[in-house]
Structures are given as structure tokens and as C-alpha cells.
Amino acid sequence: MGFLVGVAKLMAQTAGVLMVRPVRPSHRSSRATLDDCRLTINLPYVLQAETYFCQKTAEFIPEFHSRFWGGSEMAPSIPKAYGFVILVNVIGASFMLVTLSFKVGAARKEYKIDLPTMYATGKDKKSVTFNCIQRGHQQALETFSTVLACSLIGGIRYPLSTWIFGVGYIKSRMEWAKGYATGDPANRYGSKWGKYVWTTLVGMQVATIAVAVELLTAGSF
């Protein structure tokens, strides 16, 4: 019974993580539709949900807890789920960069922009499209160090949350670059996933900040 109560509380907390909030309907109709809803991510609640779930599984399902949050023989103080962070946030994000670089290479051949020229100087459609594809890759490079650092630090304490943010970041970053590659910068945020490219990055930063605060305040209260 205690475990069921714990699961119920966890579900109640997790409900605050992904909240669908209705946006004011258009003037054409007084009824809100699914397209009029906005997905809001409560970032601190993600970390709270993982902490609560970790505590409850340790209390009621120790085998499950040990498999994800327990240490390994190689690194007793690091949770096993940290491996997910390495696989996705580090290796997966690296492959994402390689994929985007291949797209830039293909665009160079198509639009005849030879190295070491970084950006096309013309204002025609082909030049603008190439520059947009290039910026999609460069933007990913510019934020990769932040993703890497925050994943490696935040993942030590919040491995599952950091891993989830990593999956979301890779997906949204690819969709963001895909929209950019159309040649219209406004399409960067045109897809459902592209909108969350910064939200997922901030999520990893929040996890890192939480780790720093916990280290600085440990034993202070």
C-alpha cells in the first residue's frame, strides 16, 4: 500500500513537469482546440520527480534502485544510470554534430561553396540557403561545450533527468537545423520539437546548478 501511495504522489508531482495549457482561442471560434494548446515544461519539477522516485524505489524496490542509481565496481560513487548520459548526451550529441557537418559538406557541393570559405557572400536564394545550413551546424557547435559540461556534471546527481533532457536536445536540435535548412530562419522554430531546443539545454543547466548548490550547502543545515 505504501508503494502505491508513493507512486500516486510521484504521478502527482510528474503532472507538473509537462503541463498542457490552453492558449486564448482565435477570434474565429470561442472553443480552444488541440492546436491552441501549449506544452510547458516545469524544469525544477523534473529534478524533484527523479529525486522522489529515487527515494521511493530505494525504499520499496531496492533491486530496481540499485540497477539505476547504485554504484558500479568501476565507479562506486557514480550511479549506473550515468551510462545513459554518456551514451546519449556525449556520444549521441557527437554523432549529431557529425551528421550536421555532413549536411554542410553536401550543401558545399550542391551550391559550389569551396573551403575555406565559411559563408557565401551573395544575397541570392542559393547563398542564403547555404548560410542557413551552415548556421544550423555552427549553432550546434557553439552550444556543444555547454551541453557536454552540464551533462557530465548534472548527470552525476540527476542521471535520468539529464539523459531525458539530452534526448530532447538532440531531437529538437536536429529539427531546429532542418527548419533552418529551408533557407528561412523563421522556420527554425517551426516544428513541434524545434521549439524546445533551448528549454532542453536550460534543463541540463538547471541540473548542474542543483548539483553545485547541493555541494555548497552540504552539511550547512
- How does pLDDT run along the chain (221 residues), one tens digit per residue? 444 444 444 444 443 444 434 444 444 444 444 344 444 556 777 788 888 878 888 888 888 778 777 887 788 888 999 999 999 999 999 999 999 999 999 999 999 999 999 999 988 999 999 999 999 999 999 999 999 999 999 999 999 999 999 999 999 999 999 999 999 999 999 888 888 999 999 999 999 999 999 889 875 54
Residue 168, pLDDT score: 95
How far is 78 from 155, CA to CA, in rounded Å? 9
How far is 65 from 60, CA to CA, in rounded Å? 9
Look up residue 221 and give its three cell numbers. Answer: 543545515
How far is 82 from 155, CA to CA, in rounded Å? 6
User: Under 8 Å CB-to-CB from 69, ≥6 apart: which residues?
Assistant: 54, 57, 58, 79, 80, 81, 159
Cα-Cα-Cα-Cα dihedral sign, residues 105, 201, 151, 167: negative
Residue 24, pLDDT score: 46
Amino acid symbol at 112? K
Q: Left if phi > 0, otherwise alpha if psi is -120 to 50, otherwise beta: which for 12? A: alpha
Residue 76, pLDDT score: 83
Residue 219, pLDDT score: 58
β-bridge mates for residue 18, sequence order: 41
Angle between helices 159-180 and 62-69 (to 10 degrees): 50
Identify the residue whose cell numbers are 546548478. 209
**Domains parsed from the chain with CATH numbers:** 1-80 (no CATH), 81-221 (1.20.120.550)
